[in-house]
Amino acid sequence: MPGRLRAALVAAAVGALLLAAGAIAGVVSPPAPPAFPAWPMLLVLDLLPVVLAGGFLLRGRAGVAAAVLTAFALIAPGRAVADLQLAVDAGLTGRPELLRPTSLAPLHPSLGLWLLLAGHLATGLAGLLAASRPGAQPEGAARGEPVARVAPLRQGRLAVALCLGLAGAVGLVGRPFTSDDPFLVPRAALDAPVAAMAGGLLVAIAVPLAAVLAASSADPATTRGGLLGIATGVFVLAVPPLAATASVAEVHLTWGPPVALAAAVGLAAFAVPAGRAVPAEDDQPEEPAEVTLPGQARLQTAAGLLAVLTGVAALGGVLAPQLVVPEGVSLPAGYASRLLLPAGLLVSVLGVASLSARLATAVRPALAVAWAAIPLAGAAAGDAVLTASQVGADVRPGVGAWLTGLAVLGSVAVACCAALAGGVERDDVDLTDVRPNPAATVPAAVAAVLAVGAFGLPALRAPDYVEPGVWSDFRVASWGLLVGLATVVGAAVLAPLCRPARRTALLLGAAGVVGVRLLEMPLTGARAEGASAGPGTWLAVACALALLVGALTSARSGTRTAEDGARGRADDERAGPV
């Protein structure tokens, strides 16, 4: 057994024992016992990666064992930061497996919290030791067998790992349960206090990142172990809320933990075929694995289909009720969801155009940017739903809210397909003569600067009304503003480096996203009495104009370039052979 891997296994076991000891000792003072006897379950859960890695190690598969510990350790920082909320305000943690407050009396951290943090530290140390083990040999080499090598990396494998990782992340950041106990307050990660939100987001980032890193490895042992390790991590985080709903009468199930649990099972099942090696033949030269992408036409068709479905889901979010309210209570006006109408139409139209063989390549850059209109509108609608859901247990998300969530997920898939199609196209085109276009640089730079104000400043102003923002009053809707801002600025930066036709489409797509932001005032202004256009609206007008000027300039330069090329070819034909 390699020395560092042995030390990593011991550190992981110590970490699991410390985490269980923290739950037993109690995390706050005065004591607030857990809602149910949870420490045996927590001990078993945190020992899972140790048992899994130990089993592979006993079978002589040190590479898989090391990858299990390394991947599982990636969620340790997020778990530690989330547990720090116990030191800030334990009453807002919503962790029935650790404590159940019974009053509003202040709670102070006790020995159990420090044991939890020490356990996370030991888990992270185990991952570092496992990742840095020296002298690793391919499996089978020590037994004199032909060294196994992984099959050529397929984009489908990365896509499956990414989708499963994103599903696990979405399930973990959702609301873990609902509660009838006023002292047991569950919150989604984006609606949680600062420490809990930061920890939840770190975990949400680590899960798909670990899945993609494992799936992209050229070593089959690392692929299998990494996927199993992150699957174990998602499983460990998804089970406690499920156990709480089964053990505590006042706690009720939500969609988050089951989705995370299904993603964990999917990752574990996918680890078997993804980590399967191909035996290397003695007469075959060893070749590096190559990434093979689907054809550009297929990717553009996939992007178009996804865009149409995403747009339909967004339109469904407008037409269907965003909330379910008790009988006899009237539904509030869905002002926030109205932005889904222009966003859904924009993405749907581009999706239909992408299904045309003649138009697909031309509109692909626009679709690669316009997808951001869906998160921009969807985050605003989701913010309103989350705010209304906190009024009482009888108010919950409706069909429109779920369709909006599907539209946001679909828009991310659209962006991935469109970006991959662009990568395939660039591989087939000689870009050595492409230079930054001075005529497009100025309007693109102006648009990038204006976009900061268009998305960062309020779109409307009214007495006693505070709009979610980027620099202040950061809420769920602010994430949509950040996505829109980053996408438009990114398009403005890349546009001068693109070919004329692609540059034009890229700038027009960015103008579409800014246009959705511009429509916020006329579509949702009735939400506040005495509302007027804010600086964000006027800057959005200026930004959209700058983008349209850049697109027009680019289109004209492209026309002149084509005419010059045709004239040059005609002159060559008249001159005859030299």
DSSP-derived secondary structure letter, 286? P
Task: Report the number of secondary-structure helices (H) and strands (E) in the chain.
Answer: 20, 10
| 510-520 mean pLDDT | 93
Q: What is the pLDDT of residue 284?
A: 44
Residue 200 shares a structural domain with residue 273: yes
* Last residue of one domain, picked from the residues 406, 429, 452: 429
* Last residue of one domain, picked from the residues 385, 404, 429: 429
Residue 142 lies in a domain: no
Residue 484 shares a structural domain with residue 536: yes
Q: What is the pLDDT of residue 282?
A: 43
Q: What is the pLDDT of residue 295?
A: 63
Q: Domain count of the chain?
A: 3
Residue 399 shares a structural domain with residue 316: yes
CATH number at residue 568: 1.20.140
pLDDT category at 77 given cuts 50, 70, 90 is very high
Residue 459 shares a structural domain with residue 515: yes
Percentage of residues in the chain with pLDDT exceeding 70?
85
Residue 285 lies in a domain: no
Q: Which of 211, 199, 169 is nearest to 412 (CA)?
A: 169
Percentage of residues in the chain with pLDDT exceeding 90?
26
The predicted-structure confidence for 354-371, as pLDDT tens digits, reads as follows: 888 888 888 999 999 999
> Side chain identity at 29, as an amino acid letter?
S
pLDDT category at 49 given cuts 50, 70, 90 is very high
Q: Residue 205 above 80 pLDDT?
A: yes
| 406-426 mean pLDDT | 83
Residue 422 shares a structural domain with residue 465: no
Residue ranges making up the domain that contains 569: 433-578
Q: Could you tell me the maximum CA-CA distance found in the chain, to the nearest angstrom?
A: 96
Residue 321 shares a structural domain with residue 249: no
Residue 66 shares a structural domain with residue 95: yes
pLDDT category at 285 given cuts 50, 70, 90 is very low
- Per the model's pLDDT, the better-predicted residue between 359 and 557 turns out to be 359
Q: What is the pLDDT of residue 349?
A: 93
Report the mean per-residue pLDDT for the chain. Answer: 82
Residue 464 shares a structural domain with residue 553: yes
Q: What is the pLDDT of residue 72?
A: 94
Residue 286 lies in a domain: no
Residue 287 lies in a domain: no
Q: What is the pLDDT of residue 155?
A: 52
Exposure string of 504-532, with b = 16+ CB inside 10 Å and e = fewer, is: bbbbbbbbbbbbbbbbbbebbbebbeebe
| 342-358 mean pLDDT | 91
* Last residue of one domain, picked from the residues 398, 429, 460: 429
Residue 244 shares a structural domain with residue 125: yes
Q: Residue 17 above 90 pLDDT?
A: yes
Q: pTM here?
A: 0.56
Residue 82 shares a structural domain with residue 108: yes
The predicted-structure confidence for 213-261, as pLDDT tens digits, reads as follows: 888 777 888 889 999 999 999 999 999 999 988 888 888 888 889 989 9
Residue 205 shares a structural domain with residue 247: yes
CA torsion 168-173-179-184 (nearest 10°) is 130
